[in-house]
Amino acid sequence: MQKIGVVGATGYTGFELLRLLSIHDSVELVIATSEKYSGKNVCEVFPSLEKYSSLKFDKFIVENCKDLDLVFCCLPHKVSMNIVPSLLDQGNRVVDFSADYRLKDQMIYQSWYEIEHTSPQLIEKAVYGMPELYRKEIQESQLVANPGCYPTGAILGLVPLAKEGLINPSSIVIDSKSGVSGAGRKESLQFQFSEIEQGFKAYSIANHRHTPEIEQELSNAFGNDVKITFTPHLIPVTRGIFSTIYFEASKKVELPLINETLSEFYAEESFVRIFENQENLDISQVIGTNFVDIKVNFDKRTNRYIMVTVIDNLVKGASGAAVQNMNVMLKISETKGLPNAGFWI
């Protein structure tokens, strides 16, 4: 059994990670940290996690993590970069959930996150944690930057087509709708039930921080600098992200070639499903699973493609992807601990 620690284990992604680790039979969770709940039994805080009835939340002390085979950091951005360097210095391997090591250009990070990066020397060392694109690099990496939730559905949908030069890069518009857990568990008036239950709104229009992350990975795939239009929306559900992605083909391309390109690219992947026949995708079909489901439609009146992707933001968009990365890093079967049966449908 390989020994695992989770730093920031009481947030939404932290809890989801504990849930997934509790059904993983090749690793043992030995440290779960929390500032707020330190000293409390995990089961007392999260009664559904019966497996951890003898584990207590501890405050984070870097030396306590020394013998762990892998540490997950489920902390907010800016907080994470104060902790990750000390773990790497003492030899730990880390999967970091925050945005602190995802962007390869320090200046882009600093301008979008409005803070100076305190460990820029680690940016180059970090591997973007998407096994479907960087499996080999993840295997050897000491630091994996787990992708953001919105970027996951957008990047996995578009990259195979971008790599084949099938898309006009300046035509991409990504319209995403997210459940409220995407904002984390912290107390905040704007995310209270009564504030969001009847609503549906766009936010961070033209300046959401996931924009440069999507652009970075699409630019790599196109081999050119790409700018996209990305608009996130908040919908009154707890989990799930539904992205509607509009693009034009770069040349005369028929829908079957688009589908074939996606199916071939993901032929060996366990967590990406391409739908050609099902009429419409629904976030409910992926909730609780590590799947990203993709369906492409063609509007022949406008010559535009309309791609839909759905993920569970807390699983493939965060903790499921992190477990998948851990499995790759520790050379465990990649699907272990990742149920493909969802909660609802």
Ligand X SMILES: NC(=O)c1ccc[n+]([C@@H]2O[C@H](COP(=O)([O-])OP(=O)(O)OC[C@H]3O[C@@H](n4cnc5c(N)ncnc54)[C@H](OP(=O)(O)O)[C@@H]3O)[C@@H](O)[C@H]2O)c1
> What's the CA gap between 87 and 65, in Å, rounded?
8
The residue sitting closest to ligand X, measured at its beta carbon, is: 11
65 catalytic? Reply is no
Site size toward ligand X, by CB under 6 A: 28
| Site stretch for ligand X (CB under 6 A), options 229-237, 255-263, 292-300, 312-320 | 312-320
Show contacts with ligand X in window 36-55 (CB under 6 A): 36-37
Show contacts with ligand X in window 84-143 (CB under 6 A): 97-98
Least separation in angstroms between CB 85 and ligand X: 16
| Site stretch for ligand X (CB under 6 A), options 113-121, 184-192, 213-221, 279-287 | 184-192
> What's the CA gap between 6 and 81, in Å, rounded?
15
User: Residue 142 gets which letter from DSSP?
Assistant: S
Choose which of 318, 326, 329, 338 interacts with ligand X (CB under 6 A).
318
Query: What stretches of the chain adopt beta strand conformation (E)?
Result: 2-7, 27-33, 57-58, 70-73, 94-96, 127-128, 143-145, 173-178, 201-202, 229-234, 241-248, 272-275, 292-299, 304-311
8 A C-beta contact, residue 7 and residue 74: yes
Residue span 139-178 as binding mask against ligand X, x where in contact by CB under 6 A, dash where not: ---------xx-----------------------------
Least separation in angstroms between CB 81 and ligand X: 11
Active-site pick, 65, 73, 74, 149: 149
H runs (alpha helix) in 22-116: 42-45, 84-89, 106-113
Least separation in angstroms between CB 60 and ligand X: 8
Q: Is the dihedral of CA 97, 239, 298, 132 positive or negative?
A: positive
Q: At 35, is the secondary structure helix, strand, or coil?
A: coil
Q: Does 12 bind ligand X (CB under 6 A)?
A: yes
User: Residue 51 gets which letter from DSSP?
Assistant: G
| Site stretch for ligand X (CB under 6 A), options 71-79, 255-263, 273-281, 293-301 | 71-79
Q: Which two tokens stand for residue 311?
A: 């993920």
Least separation in angstroms between CB 151 and ligand X: 9
Show contacts with ligand X in window 259-278 (CB under 6 A): none
- Nearest to 129, CA basis, from 110, 109, 148, 113: 148
Which residues lie near ligand X (CB under 6 A)? 8, 10-14, 34-37, 74-77, 79, 97-98, 148-149, 181-182, 184-186, 313-314, 317-318
Instruction: List the catalytic residues.
Output: 149
